[in-house]
Amino acid sequence: MVGSFEERGWITFPHDPALERWVTHVLPAARAAVTDPAHAQWHECEGTWFVGVDVLENDAVGRVRGSQPLTGQAVDFVTQLYGGIDLHKGQVSVIYPGYPRPRRDESEAAARYRAKRDAAHVDGLKPTGPDRRRIIDEPHAWVMGIPLSDVSASASPMVVWEGSHKILGDAFRTALTGVPNDALAQTDVTDIYQATRREVFDRCSRVELPASPGEAYVIHRHCLHGVAPWGESARAGPDGRMIAYFRPELPGGVAQWLEFP
């Protein structure tokens, strides 16, 4: 299992009764977060995406409103590979029919990229300044997706570029060779990121990862990933395509983020 993840950069986990019980308990809190006026700024893309960063009120082990901790095969897997890491407040990302439409203040080029390339990105590389130069601002350990609603496979599934984590990881390590550890998080990686991303599109297979409540997937932190447009025949209930995401940061910062796996 670990070998497959290290080779592909992603792994899925089958239905897990413990995880489904957690989802059932957490769903009301997730729904409340979506409709909370305090989170109105997260309704984007002309109402077709609720971004929902840090809106799930979970504790460091994933308990929400008296639920059990977040457990299951996916949690066991990342703990085996990376050790126990406290969870941040989860993201509740909801996609609705019609996605993607342009985000507020999004350029035409960015909107086209969202529609044609699934807004493909590596998490934690935050744009800064007027030129939107990128630094490794959030050195995540991994990305875990936990579906909260039952939808059809074409309802904007997660998309990954298989093997891209190896290409991008090598590029980041090469670009940052010789940079002192205390300067890694302030070093501009925009050019190498954009050039390597184009290489990934040419070399790596695009894979969609639809999943249902009780299932989960984990994506390598260097893996290029995004969200597919809403399919013409996609099916979803009033909750839309709702997924809880966890991406805790590594205690060793960017220096540890650069390591493989």
Q: What angle do CA 29, 30, 31 make, to 5 degrees?
A: 90
**Alpha helices by DSSP H, 118-251:** 164-175, 190-203
| pLDDT in the model for residue 9 | 98
Q: What is the pLDDT of residue 227?
A: 98
pLDDT score, position 240: 98
Query: Can you name the residues that pair with 140 across neighbouring β-strands?
Result: 249
Q: What is the DSSP letter of 47?
A: G
Structure tokens given for 222: 């260097």
* Percent above pLDDT 70 for the chain: 100
Whole-number Å distance between alpha carbons of 29 and 126: 28
Residue 199 has pLDDT above 90, yes or no: yes
Q: Average the pLDDT over 204-231 and give the result.
A: 98
197 φ/ψ angles, rounded to the nearest 5 degrees: -60, -40
Query: Is the pLDDT confidence value at 126 over 90?
Result: no
Looking at domain 2-117+139-162+209-249, its CATH architecture is Sandwich (2.60)
What's the CA angle centered on 173, arms 171 and 175, to 5 degrees? 65
Helices 190-203 and 164-175: crossing angle in degrees, nearest 10, is 160
What is the pLDDT averaged over residues 190-194?
A: 97
Q: What is the model's pLDDT at position 75?
A: 97
Where along the chain do its domains lie? 2-117+139-162+209-249
pLDDT band of 202, cuts 50, 70, 90:
very high
Round the CA-based radius of gyration of the chain to a whole number and report it. 18
Cα 126 from Cα 170, distance rounded (Å):
19
Q: What does the pLDDT look like over 129-156, one tens digit per residue?
A: 888 899 999 999 999 999 999 999 999 9
- Tell me how long the chain is: 261
User: How much is the pLDDT for 2?
Assistant: 85
Listed residue (194, 181, 190, 175) closest to 135, CA to CA: 190
Q: Is pLDDT at 122 greater than 90 in this prediction?
A: yes
Q: Which of 26, 49, 4, 10 is closest to 211 using CA atoms?
A: 10
